[in-house]
Structure 1
């Protein structure tokens, strides 16, 4: 069971890394949920579920997968819900949800690759969060201008 979970986890993790940015971009451009966002949601769900299956096999070394998996899925769920009901500041929910899940995946990759350094927790979270928040504030004027043009 552990080997199957590990294979699924790695394959889904690679797909999550590859689909993260396209899911954000396509969802923001189309202004609604689409197949890329939907695929990203299910790939992240598979990453999280397979992580939870592997934890009991090596609790001492993998315990952190549980909180990371939970946070990751909650992020992608936020992005999914925001994409399903656009309106108001929906793009911020998409950016924070899908982007937060993508940052969480990269955080898990760095943590497992370089486990003995405390910066491995901090670096992806700080850099990723700063980029997401910058993007959340940046498109506000453009989104308002597009909305005004649509109303005319």
Structure 2
């Protein structure tokens, strides 16, 4: 069972890392963004659930993996909820800002997990993706905020 979980974890992590940038760069409308986003979300679920399973084999050593899995799953569920529900009480496109921040956080989690694995747990690998990713998310959020809500133009006629 351990080998199966490691395989699921590795495949899900690879798919998520490979799809993160294309999902982020795809135009934000139905089509490519939503299709790639669904596959990415499936990878995030596989990654998180396999992290919980692996944690069960060695809790003392893999607590960080379980924490990252729980955060990733929470951010994913929240990001998908905002994309699906698009709550109106957030001012026009406010739901997009929440979606962007939550899904961006899942990308940070993917990169963090990869960096930690590749550096054998180096503390910089735990921190650098969060610092860099947070700056990138903040910049993108600022651009989204300055765009403001979409305006519908109704012509008299």
Do both proteins adopt the same fold according to a TM-score greater than 0.5, normalized to the shorter chain? yes
Q: 1:95 aligns with which of 100, 104, 124?
A: 100
Residue 134 of structure 1 aligns to a residue in which SS?
A: helix
Unaligned regions of 5+ residues in structure 2, if any? Answer: none
What is the distance in 2 between the residues matched to 1:83 and 1:66? Answer: 26
CA distance in 1, matches of 2:40, 2:78: 13
1:23-42 alignment runs, 5 A limit: 23-26=23-26, 29-30=28-29, 34-42=34-42
CA RMSD of aligned residues (A): 2.1
- Report matched runs for 1:1-152 at 5 Å: 1-26=1-26, 29-30=28-29, 34-86=34-86, 87=88, 88=92, 89-144=94-149, 147-148=150-151, 150-152=152-154
* Whole-angstrom distance in 1 between the partners of 2:101 and 2:14: 20
Residues 120 and 15 (structure 1), Cα distance of their counterparts in 2 relative to 1, 3 Å cut: same
Larger Cα-atom Rg? 2
Q: Does structure 1 conserve the Cα–Cα contact (< 8 Å) formed by 2:97 and 2:144?
A: no
* TM value normalised by structure 2: 0.83
Aligned residue pairs total 148
Aligned mates of 1:143, 1:110 — CA distance in 2: 35
